[in-house]
A and B are shown apart, each in its own frame.
Chain A
């Protein structure tokens, strides 16, 4: 069975849905192939247990290395992809994030500078809506003010912020792509802390809330349970002509298109490329799958005498500190940038719940702890930069999925300086909690947070997989979208940057359509 469309997008997450909306609004016929099942707003049950269905449920991913990347927790499966359960913390990368090699002779440079992406940050925040206080956010690079007032501060953040202030550190409202008031036809948040389970009210800017409805309005066709196995090329191997996939009934389908865009996140994109040709498609550099990165989460927990109301707010937090961001070579330990996301709304259970924060407690002591933590718990998380290493990679496993396609095998061990940076952040967090008056305080283990790299952008086919628009160096009509393009991770959450890069790429594709498909 063969079909034809203008554009195939593999994946319906943050990048795929935005790309679909923009290309279809410009008149292109777009089909999205989503590996997982259909998700609707009314499926998003407020429960940390039910939330697990939103996470990766496709072909198993093998992981090894000292700090595995945590594919299932960090990935999504079904409509909206991982952005359906993301926490909508949307800070910008900083100016020096794009020039790490030039400035510090470390890692690599991006092929673009902050000024190249700034207009797209500004456009996206206006379209989607970000709540924040640009003046209070003193570390923020240049950009338009946020279109929405900042998120409210509840007890937990006010108490922890006192610790920052006592140590001479600064805090600001956390920039969140969550409506602090009604905006763009979407309602304001009620600050109930169910972001991880998916936001059915559309206050949080998930794909299901914002860009997918725009795409569907333009008759974009979304095919669910479509397991793409290969990108097809012409005989020259230099032009993509479509994809092969298995549908929900396991039937094999070939869909033809003028342009193919891979937006299936940082693990499955390289898996697809590596499975599409001997030695990998678009892999002249040999770097398909290389430079996989994951932010290290430095977790700080504490109990306070005051009531903290830890169930109120957003899962991503309420306040921000980026005092340890710029001047990557001036950290007490290690090298890089990190930010504190302060006062996450927490539930009793799940990996990030307070019940799991102190696993040494059991029996009667656990019962006592759970009762106290319900009202006196506080937490904050540092998002710690992960320096890119070529040996951190996605490769094909010897094991195969039910379609006979090799599984992804992911190796990740943190750079020694990134690990040291994480250790330093943990220690700083404890000092802050002490200063804030916590009566008990402790750290959690290193948690992998976000997945980036694997198909990095760059200036040449020798040092990267794509150019700055996500266009593969080797195949003009094959594009990559999403955090897999990041050459470095920075120390901020990636989803805002994913949106900005994707918007920039969509404009490039439309402005150069005839050249792209020729």
Chain B
């Protein structure tokens, strides 16, 4: 078959222009939609009102957590940032915490794809507990006190098997923690979502986002 030479992304691609704000930020070229209309926002209660924030902004403003306690947040931040550097500042804990109280049909956690039925709170709570227990058993100290080499070593173990002290349960169990490799995969995916799935992270990787309808509140860390 005869084909024309492979195409490269055109520099005048209409959606690239839009992303770079060269055509204004309201109307999509050749399209009828307003940017951001009807898109999801993360609504946080603050005082008497509700405000829309990115997870990173929620973290910076220290928005109270709804489902996770402070110890769980600290552990989640520590582990996720070791797996996906940048996850903590991207607001992973606030993202997960917010979604744990979202209705199933609106839930944005990747867990819904992975044959785990709601509610999801125990999935994270039980896994974090198992993580702490296994770390203490192996290193005789709190996870937050692990050195960079130690947490890296532990991650290399948990991605393959349940570490010593991690209870053996079925992946879909509603009682005990998920297997460590499965929890690793889920948390890694969550962390990649908030760290790399945003408009600003596309920019940082020099990838054109090319949104037809951009997320109403881009999940980007405040400068």
Contacts and interface: CB of A to CB of B under 8 A. Distances in A.
B107 A52 contact: yes
Contacts of A46: 209-215
A49 B113 contact: no
A349 B192 contact: yes
Interface string B179-221: 0000011001100110011000110011111111111100100
Given A50-B108, A53-B40, A187-B30, A45 B215 contact: yes
A92 to B, nearest CB: 19
Contacts of A60: 104, 117-118
B13 interface: yes
Interface stretch (A19-27, A110-118, A152-160, A432-440): A152-160
Given A57-B106, A154-B7, A52 B83 contact: no
Given A154-B7, A154-B8, A348 B210 contact: no
Given A154-B7, A348-B205, A350-B197, A194 B108 contact: no
Contacts of A43: 38-39
Interface string B20-35: 0000000000110110
B210 A194 contact: yes
Contacts of A68: 115
By DSSP majority rule, is chain B's interface helix, strand, loop, or mixed?
A: loop
B9 A309 contact: yes
A200 B31 contact: yes
A154 to B, nearest CB: 5
Interface residues of A, number: 70
Contacts of B83: 362-363, 366
A349 B82 CA distance: 18
Contact of A190 (B13, B38, B197): B13
A375 B205 CA distance: 9
B3 A153 contact: yes
B197 A53 contact: no
Interface stretch (A1-9, A240-248, A353-361): A353-361
B112 A55 contact: yes
A309 B8 contact: yes
A77 B105 contact: yes
B17 to A, nearest CB: 11
Contact of A42 (B193, B213, B214): B213
Contact of A192 (B82, B105, B206, B210): B210
A63 interface: yes
B197 A360 contact: no
A193 interface: yes
A45 to B, nearest CB: 4
By CB atoms of chain A within 10 A, which of B6, B82, B110, B155 has the most? B6
A136 B1 contact: yes
Interface in A145-190: 152-155, 157-159, 171-172, 187, 190
B112 A72 contact: yes
A43 B106 CA distance: 13
B140 interface: no
A350 B108 CA distance: 11
A201 interface: yes
Contacts of B1: 133, 135-136, 171-172
B104 A366 contact: no
A348 B206 CA distance: 12
B15 A192 contact: yes
Given A41-B33, A348-B196, A370-B196, A200 B213 contact: yes
B79 to A, nearest CB: 10
A159 B213 CA distance: 30
Nearest to A156: B6
Contact of A158 (B6, B109, B211): B6
Contacts of A353: 192, 196-197
A213 interface: no
Contacts of A135: 1
18 contacts: A45-B39, A45-B40, A49-B219, A50-B40, A77-B105, A153-B6, A155-B6, A187-B31, A192-B13, A201-B31, A311-B207, A348-B202, A350-B110, A356-B189, A359-B185, A362-B188, A363-B83, A363-B152
Interface of A: 36-37, 40-50, 52-53, 55, 57-58, 60-63, 68, 70-73, 77, 133, 135-136, 152-155, 157-159, 171-172, 187, 190, 192-194, 199-201, 309, 311-312, 347-351, 353, 355-356, 359-360, 362-364, 366-367, 370-371, 374-375
Interface of B: 1, 3-9, 13-15, 30-31, 33-34, 37-40, 82-86, 104-110, 112-113, 115, 117-118, 152, 155, 159, 184-185, 188-189, 192-193, 196-197, 201-202, 205-216, 219
